[in-house]
């Protein structure tokens, strides 16, 4: 008897699985929506291949190693070198409204493997778990969170690379003839951005065509792989990259993978990104009542670095409040002995020299101005020159006999140890209880090496689980607390930590030109309300490049807006422009942060992004390089097709004053009451853009006429 296919369906995506009785279920499809009812079985569809095994082994949902499937296995495990080949039997496939759970056993190797696949909207959430049913240690070398098929006509893999100050550098590569792997062994997500990728189908782009995408919800070592199998199609896997000997399961123990979030869009990259945004929003730890409007920040770092002085910081608070700032974040430099980056990490008490009265007067001053008070911490870190290191020299990750490498003069505390987590919880809890702290900026400024735990084994996995446990404990004890994830800028941006934090520090590079590309990369995976976007000084500290204040404020506008400079150093005209930018952000933030986001490119180097609903949008068009054409081009907005009559308002062109380019009368009309176009016109002929100089941004509102 042929069992019916199991189809998981989203709006533009279907995933079809064929159960095969006791044999493990196999993948039939993951792509655009299909009707798989009555589909002939795979056994009836595949001719035998010459010189192949007499038993056919197509791509299983959980492919096994060593028993006839020659593609990438979901599990690599053994018992002291034995039982490395798995022969799975299906125990059950439980289906529910939100997905399915497949339970397989290998009776010879004595293990159970559970694969969960949930579906919500256009998103599949996959995770695996293995249980040791035997009587001796089961060593796990690899367990994929999910294994997914990619169709044979895929065209390109789009991923990101990066470093400190240069996150989200886009990469596009052709589909591999053999394999494509991105493996991270830094113990931390890394500056390339979240562990994720996009795979474009034939003729796909921002707005149309098939795009598969996936990201792993994990803040540590990871492996993303696309391998071409013998049938000429590709297999996508993601999972934690385990160090040798890292996961050894005692009898009855289990290992669970992080979750893999996967989506397939029939409407281009934008639709895939929007599915990710929806998924991250669904995981967000907002207190009951949901997300408040994202408050404008001021951060003390680039204005003051380690040079803390209570009176100067109170003056910063005064000037910031006058500009319209709503949250003051006191960055690195506030704790005992922290005069530079060589000492004091771990000693989380206010510095008695810089703050003889403690932090309370500064915090009270900030709160008195109507702002929230936020504090920088780097809990996982310890300087060898600290009271904590002197008291507990064994608390840092290490391997006996191997040199302990410092990075930025610091070592990493072993969060696999409960006493370390307890110490950190106690210190952070005390600060949060003693001071009116509404917000923590939680930094992590180095990679993990050498990362041995107390038992001498690799401690990467335990480190991530330990950090998550600390975040969770703190969140439970302080449910109103908001946390920003930072790791030397964007070194820990991923869906795992996104379930525990409320904002990401996108990059230490606040150069607005660099930020245009970086922030577009960020939006591939994460929603705009989590994207820390600051107005920095000019020239930018990271690049030495200068940009005008209007452009700096415009580039920060779509994210979670902040200021990271000392307003005392600004010209009066810049202060007025910045105050205007803050007011604009406050007026628009709830539109920018709740809807869908579309990215697009226009002719002649223009890039754009639209936030909101398809017929009610804020649109920002950005020009980085000078134009090369005589008259400004129109930009085509495909998501407006079929939306009826739409009124277009030009809210602003953020550019430097002086030497204005001539403008057409329609832009005066757009500024004054708006101009009506049909959605179809805007989607095909396009929206005219005003003359724009290099490093400028035009802001539109598009609403039903």
Binding residues vs ligand DGJ (CB under 6 A): 301, 331-332, 376, 443, 445, 486, 488-489, 505, 508
Contact 538, 302 (CB under 8 A): no
CB closer to ligand DGJ, 489 vs 581: 489
**CB 60, CB 129: distance < 8 Å:** no
Left, alpha or beta for 485 (phi > 0: left; psi -120 to 50: alpha)? beta
Tokens describing residue 12:
């533009």
Phi then psi for residue 698, to 5 deg, are -105, 135
Min dist CB 301 to ligand DGJ, Å, is: 5
Tell me if 492 sits within 8 A of 284, measured CB to CB.
no
In which element (H, E) is residue 652 found?
strand 645-654
Positive or negative torsion for Cα 159, 124, 490, 610: positive
Nearest CB to ligand DGJ, comparing residues 489 and 674: 489
**Overall size of the chain counted in residues:** 705
Token representation of residue 333 = 């430099």
Distances (CA, A) of 87 to 105, 112, 264: 8, 11, 30
Question: 563 is written with which tokens?
Answer: 């200021």
CB 74, CB 63: distance < 8 Å: yes
Catalytic residue among 106, 122, 351, 443: 443
Q: Assign residue 203 a region (left: φ > 0; alpha: ψ between -120 and 50; beta: otherwise).
A: left
We find the least distance from the C-beta atom of residue 507 to ligand DGJ, in angstroms, to be: 8
Nearer to ligand DGJ, 355 or 677 (CB): 355
Q: Is 523 exposed, middle or buried (0-12, 13-18, 19+ CB in 10 A)?
A: buried
- The residues pairing with 117 across neighbouring beta strands, listed in sequence order, are 100, 126
- Looking at the Cβ atoms of 136 and 307, the one nearer to ligand DGJ is 307
| Cβ proximity of 557 and 585 under 8 Å | yes
For residue 219, which of 19, 15, 509, 415 has the smallest C-alpha distance? 415
Cα 71 to Cα 597: distance, rounded to the nearest angstrom: 37
**Cα–Cα distance measured from residue 192 to residue 425, given in angstroms and rounded to the nearest whole number:** 30
From the candidates 332, 447, 494, 508, give the one annotated as an active-site residue. Answer: 508
Enumerate residues 6+ apart whose C-beta is below 8 A from 606. 621, 622, 623, 633, 635, 689, 692
The verdict on whether 455 is a catalytic residue reads: no
For residue 67, the minimal CB distance to ligand DGJ (Å) is 48
Q: Is 443 a catalytic residue?
A: yes
Q: How far is the CB of 449 from ligand DGJ (least distance, A)?
A: 19
Paired strand residues for 462: none
- Active-site residue numbers? 443, 508
């Amino acid at each position: 008897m042929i069992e019916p296919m199991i189809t998981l369906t989203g709006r533009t995506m279907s995933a079809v699985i064929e159960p095969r009785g006791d044999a493990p279920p196999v993948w039939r499809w993951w792509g655009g929506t299909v009707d798989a009812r009555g589909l002939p079985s795979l056994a009836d569809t595949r001719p035998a291949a010459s010189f192949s095994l007499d038993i056919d082994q197509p791509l299983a949902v959980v492919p096994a190693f060593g028993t006839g499937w020659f593609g990438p296995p979901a599990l690599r495990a053994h018992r002291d070198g034995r039982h490395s080949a798995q022969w799975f039997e299906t125990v059950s496939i439980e289906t529910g409204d939100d997905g399915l759970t497949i339970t397989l056993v290998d009776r010879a190797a004595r293990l159970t493997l559970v694969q969960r696949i949930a579906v919500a909207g256009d998103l599949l959430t996959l995770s695996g778990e293995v249980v040791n049913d035997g009587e001796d240690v089961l060593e796990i070398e690899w367990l994929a969170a999910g294994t997914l098929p990619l169709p044979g006509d895929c065209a390109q893999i789009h991923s990101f690379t990066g470093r400190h100050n240069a996150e989200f550098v886009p990469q596009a590569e052709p589909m591999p003839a053999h394999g494509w792997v991105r493996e991270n062994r830094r113990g931390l997500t890394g500056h390339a951005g979240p562990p994720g990728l996009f795979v474009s189908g034939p003729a796909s782009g921002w707005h149309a065509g098939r795009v598969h995408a996936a990201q792993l919800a994990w803040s540590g070592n990871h492996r993303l792989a696309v391998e071409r199998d013998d049938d000429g199609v590709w297999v996508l896997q993601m999972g934690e990259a385990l160090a040798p000997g890292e996961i050894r399961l005692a009898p009855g123990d289990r290992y669970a993978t992080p979750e893999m979030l996967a989506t397939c869009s029939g409407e281009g990259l934008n639709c895939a990104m929007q599915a990710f945004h929806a998924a991250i929003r669904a995981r967000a730890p907002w207190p009951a009542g949901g997300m408040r409007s994202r408050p404008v920040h001021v951060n003390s770092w680039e204005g003051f670095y380690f040079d803390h002085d209570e009176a100067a910081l109170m003056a910063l608070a005064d000037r910031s409040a006058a500009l319209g700032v709503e949250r003051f974040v006191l960055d690195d430099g506030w704790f005992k002995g922290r005069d530079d980056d060589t000492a004091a990490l771990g000693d989380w008490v206010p510095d008695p020299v810089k703050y003889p009265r403690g932090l309370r007067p500064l915090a009270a001053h900030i709160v008195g101005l109507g702002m929230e008070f936020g504090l920088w911490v780097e809990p996982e870190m310890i300087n060898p020159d600290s009271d904590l290191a002197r008291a507990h020299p064994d608390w840092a990750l290490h391997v006996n006999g191997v040199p302990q490498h410092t990075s930025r003069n610091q070592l990493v505390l072993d969060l696999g140890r409960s006493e370390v987590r307890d110490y950190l919880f106690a210190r952070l809890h005390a600060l949060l209880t003693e001071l009116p702290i509404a917000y923590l900026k939680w930094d992590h400024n180095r990679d993990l090496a050498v990362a041995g735990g107390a038992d001498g084994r690799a401690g990467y996995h335990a480190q991530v689980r330990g950090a998550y446990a600390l975040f969770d404990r703190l969140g439970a004890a302080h449910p109103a607390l908001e946390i920003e994830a930072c790791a030397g800028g964007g070194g820990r941006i991923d869906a795992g930590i996104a379930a525990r934090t409320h904002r990401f520090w996108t990059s230490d590079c606040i150069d607005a030109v660099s930020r245009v590309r970086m922030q577009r990369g960020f939006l591939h995976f994460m929603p705009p309300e989590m994207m820390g976007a600051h107005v920095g000084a000019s020239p930018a500290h990271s690049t030495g490049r200068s940009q005008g204040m209007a452009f700096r404020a415009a580039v920060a506008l779509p994210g979670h807006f902040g200021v990271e400079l000392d307003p005392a150093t600004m010209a009066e005209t810049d202060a007025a422009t910045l105050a205007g930018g803050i007011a604009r952000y406050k007026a628009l933030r709830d539109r920018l942060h709740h809807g869908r986001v579309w990215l697009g490119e226009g002719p002649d180097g223009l890039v754009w992004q639209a936030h909101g609903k398809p017929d009610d949008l804020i649109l920002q068009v950005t020009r980085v390089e000078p134009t090369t054409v005589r008259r400004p081009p129109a930009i085509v907005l495909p998501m407006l097709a079929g939306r009826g009559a739409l009124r277009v308002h030009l809210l602003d062109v953020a550019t430097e004053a002086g030497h204005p380019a001539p403008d057409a009368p329609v832009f005066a009309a757009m500024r004054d009451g708006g101009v009506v176009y049909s959605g179809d016109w805007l989607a095909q002929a396009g929206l005219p853009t005003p003359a724009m100089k290099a490093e400028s941004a035009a802001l539109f509102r598009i609403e039903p006429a």
